[in-house]
Amino acid sequence: MKRGLTGYQVPVSLVGERCMAFVPKPLPPDPALHWDTGLQNALQAAGLALGRLSGMTSLLPDPCLFLYAYVRKEAVLSSQIEGTQSSLDKLLLFENEAAPGVPLDDVMEVSNYVAAMEHGLKRLREDFPLSLRLIREIHGVLLAKGRGSRKQPGEFRTSQNWIGGTRPGNARFVPPPPDHVIDCMGALEKFLHDTSVPALVRAGLAHAQFETIHPFLDGNGRVGRLLITFLLCQDGVIASPMLYLSLHLKQQRAAYYDLLQRVRTDGVWEEWLAFFLHGIAASAGQAGDTAGRLLQLFRRDREKIARLGRAAGSALQLHDLLQRQPALSAARARAVLKLSKPTVNAAFAQLEKLGLLREITGGARNRVFAYKDYLTILGEGTEPL
């Protein structure tokens, strides 16, 4: 359904020229969403896919088994949409304090994203409401270090911004003026808790609205995608963030940006929701498939290690640790496993001989070993754009 503009325009003057900024109307859409068969089927398919993913995770021997890696995959993908060139390997090297030659700003942005997600999830577990205060906190963590640290971390913008173009006059889109941001975000906060709207629908609508308001000077795309995860976790749709929707958005980046703009200009909320719900279903399916493949990998590799006989004990301990942290230095493994240096070095050598590990620093000292097939499976789709 085309509704025309989903807000109103106000004149702004910036850098010596006047242009029109867009102020969105509060959610939900008006006229109300038109639930044709296609959109109803998309909502049902997304719900079923998330149910299957939840069922898969409930069967895991440790429900948090993949959380470490899944959060990092989503961080890499979401940051890549914004143009960073970091990768999963580079992030894991950075976290092991062994990142020579890695573009520091890029990998720090991804690391900040991990910290922002973990902070938000911790606050939600503490029963802190999904609110403007929490959104600002998350933004503060996201921009705490690196190139965004001078762009008002944790604060809504007090100056005009724009999307695309070199100046407001030739921009693709000019968000609300700064004096409208608080009112727009206040209305969005109210909608986040409108339980009369299904959680998946609310998440899709809220994400598009957040991107339209663009309340921060930097980091809006990443915070907007984090908002999806937090809303679904808050409402119990997913128990943990084992869903990397950013893979779908990265693969469909042109359609993603085009639909966000057409929501503003034409009011095609149903078309946007169909795209969003398809992405949820596809992402949940991919996450479940990945979990299944990793479980098969763990079982197969454990059988290989068990054949080592008497030498298998420490190697199995190291393998258990690699399932949770798939890139490790010997020093970190010693600290966690409380084993001697010769024992840990022997375990690394055994797993490398079996073909389970690969060294990823390329150096002779402070080497980091990655669980090779684990990262191959998990890293699908995370290649830099």
- The tens digit of pLDDT for each residue in 143-180 reads 998 777 788 999 999 999 999 888 888 899 999 999 99
Average pLDDT over residues 86-96: 80
Residue spans of the domains in the chain: they are 7-289, 295-378
pLDDT above 60: residue 103 = no
d(CA 264, CA 324) in angstroms, rounded, equals 42
Q: 290 vs 134, which has greater pLDDT?
A: 134
Tell me if 85 sits within 8 A of 103, measured CB to CB: yes
What is the fold, at CATH topology level, of the domain defined by 295-378? Arc Repressor Mutant, subunit A (1.10.10)
> How much is the pLDDT for 365?
77
pLDDT above 70: residue 302 = yes
Sign of CA dihedral 166, 170, 176, 178: positive
Beta bridge partners of 23: 8
d(CA 219, CA 83) in angstroms, rounded, equals 12
- Residue 278 corresponds to which amino acid? H
Mean pLDDT score across all residues of the chain? 91
Report pTM: 0.91
> How much is the pLDDT for 78?
92
Short-list 211, 285, 212, CA closest to 247: 285
384 upstream amide cis, omega within 30 of 0: no
> How much is the pLDDT for 239?
82
Tell me if 202 sits within 8 A of 135, measured CB to CB: no
Q: Which long-range contacts (CB under 8 A, 24 or more apart) does 128-134 make?
A: 129/193, 130/192, 130/193, 130/230, 130/231, 130/234, 131/189, 132/185, 132/186, 132/189, 134/230
Give the start-end residues of each E strand in 5-136. Answer: 7-14, 17-24
Angle between helices 199-213 and 269-306 (to 10 degrees): 110
Q: Tokens standing for 280?
A: 């949820």
Tell me if 354 sits within 8 A of 64, measured CB to CB: no
Q: For Cα atoms 241, 65, 127, give the angle at the middle one, nearest 5 degrees.
A: 40
CB atoms within 10 A of CB 122: 10
CATH placement of domain 7-289 = 1.10.3290.10
